[in-house]
Structure 1
Amino acid sequence: MHFTEYHTRLAAYALIVDENERILLTWFNGNDRNEPCWSLPGGGVEYDETVEDGVVREVLEETGYQVVLGDPLTVHSFTAPGEPDRPLPYKSVRIVYRGTITGGTLGTLEIGGTTDFAEWKSLDLEGPRADIVDVAIAAWRSHRAR
């Protein structure tokens, strides 16, 4: 299928793990396609910004923290068929960067968005979480094992 025949969503996230091996997560409040759950700070990259600028902006909005990014940790993509409200098929490309906090205070700055709050959680998090959390943790553990 040619790229003009489907929609693409580019998203970027930061995996931020502290010295106690806790992960910084955000609470996604859900929408018509997805139930509320824990997710990584990050999200859709705007048309007029770089991928790196997009994830830095999203982290600040969703967590209150300023970050610097390390190398990309992993890239994950998936496809979905068209639906009545989105007739073209859909491809999601998600890039996860390592992130390091350089300033700010924990607290969501986003108003009226999809993130209600952010918290430090155990890497062995139980409960509802977006698949990107598991993708990022697996990549992080794989890189640590090397």
Structure 2
Amino acid sequence: MRLSLLFWATFWAFLCDQVSKYLVVHWMGVAQRGSIDVLPPLLTFRYGENRGINFGLLQGDTDIARWILIGLSVLICVIVIGWLYRTRASRWMLISGGFLIGGALGNVVDRLLYGYVLDFLNMSCCGFDNPYVFNVADIFIFAGAAGLILLDTKKPT
């Protein structure tokens, strides 16, 4: 029962990410249009291909870099599953772990299919023009990692 919560959080995070990428990149055609104003300047869909990690760090346009990032993502997923399996993780920690895993696997699928991660979300505000784009998987990864850190109720000994 407990791990089914982890599975369903993973499933829904992964599905939300992949459906959003399909709708915005392929169906709405942001790749061909370059950008689509949704709530300018707060929210714009702007096409991006990320061959590194967040904010363009560790950019690598080689197959070895791609496979290293895929392997690292899968390893992190396995470590999180093992950690949550061995501990008495709360319901919210399991959901957080599922969000992190689902987001990471969404980006892994992109790397396998395209060789890079599809990004399309851009947010700017208050005169600041944000040059970075991200995706729904990145939101789930961030929320999941934050949840795992903030909701871990075990006290260090």
TM bracket, shorter-chain basis: under 0.3
The normalised TM-score by structure 1 is 0.27
The normalised TM-score by structure 2 is 0.25
Larger radius of gyration: 2
Query: Which is strand-richer, 1 or 2?
Result: 1
